[in-house]
Structure formats: structure tokens, C-alpha cells
Structure 1
Amino acid sequence: MNETVYQHYRKEEAAFIDQVYSWMQQVENRYTPYVSNFLTPREAMIVTQLVNTNEDILLAFDGGYENAERQRACLYPNYFEPSADDFKVAALNLNFPVKFANITHGKILGTLLSTGVERGRIGDIITDGERWHILVDQTMEDFFIQQVNKIGNVGVKLEPIDKNQLLTPIETWQTITIISSSLRLDALISKVYNFSRQRAKDSIAAGLVKVNFVEMDRGDALVGVQDIISVRKFGRFWIQSVEGLTKKDNYRLLVNVLEI
């Protein structure tokens, strides 16, 4: 393992980098594929960068449908050809009285996590504006079906469906260019949503902001490429690329913003 690799990532990502190297070692030692939990886009980017340094290991991703946000990685030796079945992604339909209940992404995720299952076992939660479908680790499918019968005060039933029956998400992403003096979380929120810097800081302090689906309480936290930032009631965004610096040494960023 090249120790200089760590300097290209955040300190808090060191444990994940070690994990990826252990996956790679497992593939090399056993000469068999390894499938990860569902990864955030940032984690998927790190896996791609690390695996690409090893000519003997190949890599594929699948989240259950095209352009899934959270995907599982399959690291495999060159003799192996992964299929969709190898990723073990199951799809569940959320059956509930649509006309009489208000169910949100946050409520669904919170209920699933309250069963004690780690976040990495849950993929995307998608909606067409009325119905909801959930992608999960196939080994947890029966568990969720048995354990989840209420979301808030709404009675629900999870039902297995084939992935070719999945909804088409209604999310619309817009790509914009912003100029920011730094890659701090509060600065980026301020630029993307046209907030004052103080309002961005207040939103973070109030627990309204998540980075890669985890609540963040530090406005000075640095945001990297492929990090997903969500601001409650405003949507999500992520940096697609750093396009360079302006003459005043500000960052020129290409950002994908979810319109809600």
C-alpha cells in the first residue's frame, strides 16, 4: 500500500481507504469477486481511483437501475464477467393508502434505519410523486418486509417487485457554474441557494444540512468532488468538477443541483 495515497483524501476517509484496499487484497488472494455495500458517489469515486491503480482488478457498479445515486461496487478478477444478479440488489414497493397519507423520503429512510440496519444496506429511495420504491441489499429483503409495517402513523406493507418495474424518478438536475472563494460547506450553500453566509451557517447549526447523507454541524467542513450536500426544504447538490481558478483565485465549480 502506498502511504502517500492518504494525502490526497480527507483524514476521516482513511478508514474507508483501508477498507477498499482490503477488498482489493481479498480479490487478489482468493481470485473471486467482491461486492460492496451501497456507496455514496464520493465513496464510488474513491473506489474507482484506488482500483484503477491495480491492473489485475476490474470494477463495475450497479444500484438497481440506470443512474442510481447509491451503487454497489463489484471488484473482480479479469476472468469474471459480473451480471446484474451478482450485485444482489432487491427492489421493494411501498404499499400504503396514497390518498390519505403523506410519506416522505426522510420518513422512509428513518424507519428503515430504526430497524438497526446500517445505511450501506439501503440504496436509493425513489418516487414518481405519488408511489415509492426502495432498493435494498437482497439479503435484507425479507427482514425489511417482516419488520416494517408502519411509517410514522401510516400503516404500510413492503412488497418485492422486479427491477424492471421500477418507477422513473421525477427528480430533475440542473448543471450550473458557480464562483466560490472556498470549498467550505457554508460558502457553497450560500452560492448555490443564493443565501447569505450567515443563513447558511444557521441552517447547518440547526441540523438542516447533510453531507453524504450524514448530518453535518461544521460550516468550515471542506466539500470535495462528488460529495452530496442536502439542505432540508431546498434539495441537494454536488460538485461535478473543479474547473480551475479565476484571476482572483476563486474556485470555478461545475455543480449539479436538484430542482424541487
Structure 2
Amino acid sequence: MNKQQMLKGIQDGEERLLFAKVLDQVTFALKRYEVQFSDFMDMAKCERFLQRLNNVADLDVLAFGGVEDAERMILGFAPKQACICQEIFPISALQIAPKNKKFGQTDLSHRDYLGSILGLGIERGKVGDILVSEDGAACFVSEEMAEYIQTNLEKVSKTTVTVKMVDKAHILSPKRTELRRVTVASMRLDAILGEALRLSRGKAQTLISGEKVNVNWGVVTSTSYILKTGDMVSARGFGRFRVGEIGGRTKKDRIGLELEVYI
């Protein structure tokens, strides 16, 4: 494996540094015949790294974030003869809840939980998804940091909290989807984005040109980008959806389309 060749074309300095570390872990896994794990990263980086690692001989790579449909994942690397599965990923789950619900804040956000955890001096790469609910939040973290967070996290924003480790297998993603059947003039990104998230065509185009829209976890800035079945689309601050089955044309020459919208 030629490390410099693998790094070629990565312009972002932070991403290049992260992938260089990943490649070192891959090398270690192959030489020592041991499973290695990266830090948490967003799905866009995961996708790009997986594409670059696809052609590495004798290597198995698996991505997992602790829960189905996780948006932040860890990459696991192992020689093809070794066993790598979700169960061995070094991910712990923490349940964070207000100590006194009567006097605690009821509107704690993802940002509140993340900020309080990072405020303990923990790196962002050690924290995965934070699933916020009415009762608190479930947080996936690197196994090595779980006990430290449990011991030291006393407040989220101004609310005193309790933290306990729980079995990550028992945490279900609160993400729910709604199947919508729509008709669109074309499979252009701006047209479908507006229809799926109930935005005006102009608003959809502004989000796309403003680099706030991802397709399959990568930023797309072309409003005329053509979507296809299976594509995952997200607009920062507005939601996400998956493109479903594409049907035939209507009498008005519009395309019938199924969208799985996360609600």
C-alpha cells in the first residue's frame, strides 16, 4: 500500500491528517494481524475513506456507530482472515438524564449535550451520535472515555444530570420515517429537495449553492444534479430523506416518485 498515493487528492488539511492516521492503523492491522479502529467521524468522511480503501488487498473494513443509521461512525480494519463484527467495536453507550426533572431544563438540545461533554476536555472524535429525547439523551462514545464522562459530567447547560452506562444493543434510534408519494418535473436535486422537505424551489437552490446539501454524505453544489433510487439526501437544519422507487410518467408528463422522509 502506497500511503502517499492513497493521500493524493485530499485537499482539506484536517481530513488529510485523519486519513493518514487511518492508513497507519490499516498498516498496523495488516502487519500485526490485529483489528484496529479509527475515531468517530461523519458519514461523508467514512464514505470517502471507504472508497479509497476498497482496493487494499487482504483488508476488511466495517463501519459502525453503535446504532442503526448512525450519522457518526467508527471504521474497523482487519485482515480478511480475521473476524470483524459490530459486537467488538470499542463503543460504549451512556444514558444522560436530568437529576430532577421537575427543576431541570426541558429543552436541552444536541448542542447542549455535545458542548458539555467536549467541555470536559474530550476530543470530538471520541463522541458519536447523541440521540436526544424528552427524558434526556443516549450518547455513544469511545469505550476508553466512557468511565471518565460518567464520573465527571455533572451538568448539561444549567441542568444537573445523572450519567449511567447502558447496553448499546438496547438503544433504538428515535429516527422515524414517513413514506411520501409525490410527482416531480424531473429528477433534479433542487426539484426533489423542495418537494421532500416542503421548501420553495428558490430556497432549495440557495441551500445547494451554499454547500448545505449532501447526497450520500458528500456535499453537492449543482442544483441540476440528477438523483437516483437509493440516494440519501440531507439539508443542514431542514432534514433528510432517501429516494425510493421511481415510477412512470403521469398524463401531465411528471415523474411519480417515492420518498422516505425522516421525521
TM-score under structure 1 normalisation? 0.68
Within the alignment, does 1:122 sit opposite 2:124 as a pair?
no
Query: Which residue of the partner structure matches residue 63 of structure 2?
Result: 61
Cα separation, 2, equivalents of 1:32 and 1:197: 51
Residues 97 and 135, structure 2, Cα contact 8 Å, conserved in 1: no
1:56 CA displacement: 1.1
Which one of 154, 166, 171 corresponds to residue 175 of structure 2? 171
Query: Which residue of the partner structure matches residue 140 of structure 2?
Result: 135
Cα separation, 2, equivalents of 1:2 and 1:199: 42
Within the alignment, does 1:111 sit opposite 2:113 as a pair?
no
Residues 35 and 74, structure 1, Cα contact 8 Å, conserved in 2: yes
1:151 CA displacement: 1.0
Residues 109 and 132, structure 2, Cα contact 8 Å, conserved in 1: no
In the alignment, structure 1 segments of 5+ residues that lack a partner are 244-253
Superposed CA RMSD in Å reads 4.5
Q: How many residues align?
A: 241
Query: Which residue of the partner structure matches residue 155 of structure 1?
Result: 160
Cα separation, 1, equivalents of 2:21 and 2:232: 19
Give, as a single letter, the amino acid of the residue that structure 1 aligns with 2:49: V
Query: Which residue of the partner structure matches residue 50 of structure 2?
Result: 48
Cα separation, 1, equivalents of 2:242 and 2:58: 31
Query: Which residue of the partner structure matches residue 262 of structure 2?
Result: 258
Give, as a single letter, the amino acid of the residue that structure 1 aligns with 2:66: G
Residues 232 and 240, structure 2, Cα contact 8 Å, conserved in 1: no
Query: Which residue of the partner structure matches residue 82 of structure 1?
Result: 84
- Deviation digits for residues 87-134 of structure 1, max 9, x if unmatched? 111111112134553222221112112222121111111245434211
Residues 92 and 135, structure 1, Cα contact 8 Å, conserved in 2: yes
- Change over 3 Å in CA distance of 1:235–1:2 after alignment to 2: same
Within the alignment, does 1:11 sit opposite 2:11 as a pair?
yes
Q: Percent identity?
A: 21
- Change over 3 Å in CA distance of 1:187–1:4 after alignment to 2: farther
Residues 228 and 237, structure 1, Cα contact 8 Å, conserved in 2: yes
Cα separation, 2, equivalents of 1:117 and 1:239: 37
1:79 is paired with a residue of what secondary structure? coil
1:190 CA displacement: 6.5
